[in-house]
Amino acid sequence: MNINNGKIESIFSENGNFDKKNKVNRLNKKVDQSILEQIEQGITIENLETICKSIPVFKYKTQITIHGIFNDLSNNYINRYKSIFQNKNRSIGVKYNAIDSDKKSKIRKLVHTAGYSAEYNSTENYIYKSVRIKNQQDIINKGKEFQELYNRLDNSLFFGTKQIYVINVPWYGKFLIYRINLHAIYEKNIPAFIFTLTGKTVERIQLEIEKKEIQNQKENEKWKKDLQEKFEQSKIKKLEQIENLKKTLQVLTEYPKTGNFTLFYLKTSYSGNIEKKYIYIYDYKGKRYIEREYELCLNRDKGKVFPRKLKNKISIDNFVKALNKTQFFIESNSVIFG
């Protein structure tokens, strides 16, 4: 569910502490090229404040604007997204997704362990909790819990906003959302930020993640082993079925230039099951066709051919090559047309 696809119906709590817009460049002075080069590589909020000590920096709702006369940009993209812009007055705008990328990625992973969801895109990086609601009483009951979480999170721990609102998401219904829009954060504040959200230390969560990863690895190794054993058993079973089929059905040994044929071969699926796969060879309006069943019968009656949709997917050369590797059984000397 993408909560950005919904329509916000009511906002109960929202905060934000941003600078007022400054259309005039507050520093009519050329900025050292080394500063721009560091920003173009992606930067932390700590480094940004260090290199811009004598430069006016304004924090807005969607980006940071750094004043001064900058050279032309050589790179606009950070983390696949266009994140750095040059304004007409030669100052530059830096979207928040170009700041603290590694820290925010780490935080998204940590908060998942405490029932939060986390998303990021070209303009946003946010953490949220959601609950489906049916009526006003649901909003009151769950709203108390969300309001406590909201009040508990100190605004000074991060750059960004926090919100509680009701949203109507198409096909899903109404939800109450507690959302933190995380723009940037000092490294020193991450432990307190995580503890406030989750009630756990970073160290404890990391241990839980490591434990879970080890458990997942063991389960994955067991799954692979079980699947390999199933495939080995399927190979034996497939050979047995082929030998039994040879007793009652004819094996196609060469490409038939005339006549209609319904053929099948045995194939082991990804799950290790043995399945019949059908091939149809026939003439239609003066042309010879070789077609796979799944290309002909998708969402239609199984076993019927619908010539009006044909594109002749299999060439004769490829079919002849397949004959040397696969045993095709003749199920019928005809084709049922739909």
Is there a single domain that holds both residue 266 and residue 189? no
Is 233 inside any structural domain? no
Does residue 56 sit in the same domain as residue 188?
A: yes
Q: Is residue 228 part of a domain?
A: no
**Domain contains 113:** yes
Same domain, 261 and 147: no
Q: What is the pLDDT of residue 310?
A: 53
* Judgement on whether residues 40 and 113 belong to the same structural domain of the protein: yes
With H, G, I as helix, E, B as strand and everything else as coil, classify residue 219: helix
Boundary-marking domain end, from 139, 166, 200: 200
> What pLDDT score was predicted for residue 319?
85
Domain count, the chain: 2
Q: Please tell me whether residues 183 and 277 are part of one structural domain.
A: no
Measured in degrees and rounded to the nearest 5, phi and psi for residue 331 equal -85, -35
Question: Is 147 contained in some domain?
Answer: yes
Query: Is the domain of 181 the same as that of 274?
Result: no
Query: Containing domain of residue 303, as a range?
Result: 250-337
The answer to whether residues 176 and 64 belong to one domain is yes
3-state SS, residue 40: helix
Q: Say what the pLDDT of residue 194 is.
A: 96
Query: What is the per-residue pLDDT for 15?
Result: 67
Please check whether residue 288 lies inside any domain of the structure. yes
The token pair at 249 is 């059905």
Q: How many CA atoms within 13 Å lie on the side-chain side of 244?
A: 7
The answer to whether 255 and 319 have CB atoms below 8 angstroms apart is yes
Asked if residue 266 is part of any domain, the answer here is yes
Whether the CB-CB separation of 97 and 128 falls below 8 Å is answered with: no
Domain check: are 95 and 157 in the same one? yes
Q: How far apart are CA 275 and CA 278, in angstroms?
A: 10
Q: What was the pLDDT predicted at 338?
A: 64
CA atoms within 13 A on the CB side of 235: 5
Residue 290, phi-psi category: left (phi > 0), alpha (psi -120 to 50), beta (remainder): beta
So what's the pLDDT on residue 3? Answer: 61
- Whether residues 41 and 160 share a domain: the answer is yes
Contacts of 86 (CB under 8 A, 6+ apart): 70, 72, 73, 92, 93
pTM of the entire structure? 0.70
Do 67 and 158 sit in the same domain of this protein?
yes
Residue 327 lies in a domain: yes
Domain boundary pick from 183, 200, 217? 200
Q: Among residues 200, 235, 262, which one ends one of the domains?
A: 200
Going by C-alpha positions, the residue among 279, 281, 273, 278 that lies closest to residue 241 is: 273
Same domain, 133 and 270: no
Helix (H) or strand (E) holding 82: strand 81-82
Residue 82 covered by a domain: yes
Tell me, what's the pLDDT at 297? 46
Shared domain check, 156 and 19: yes
**Tens place of pLDDT per residue across the chain (338 aa):** 566 656 666 676 666 678 888 778 888 889 999 999 999 999 999 999 999 888 999 988 889 999 999 999 998 898 888 999 998 889 999 999 999 999 999 999 999 888 899 998 888 899 999 999 888 888 888 888 899 999 999 999 999 999 999 888 888 888 999 999 999 999 999 999 999 999 999 999 999 999 999 999 999 999 999 988 888 888 899 899 999 999 999 999 888 888 898 899 998 887 778 888 888 888 887 888 888 776 544 445 555 666 655 555 678 888 888 888 889 999 988 877 66
Q: What is the pLDDT of residue 299?
A: 46
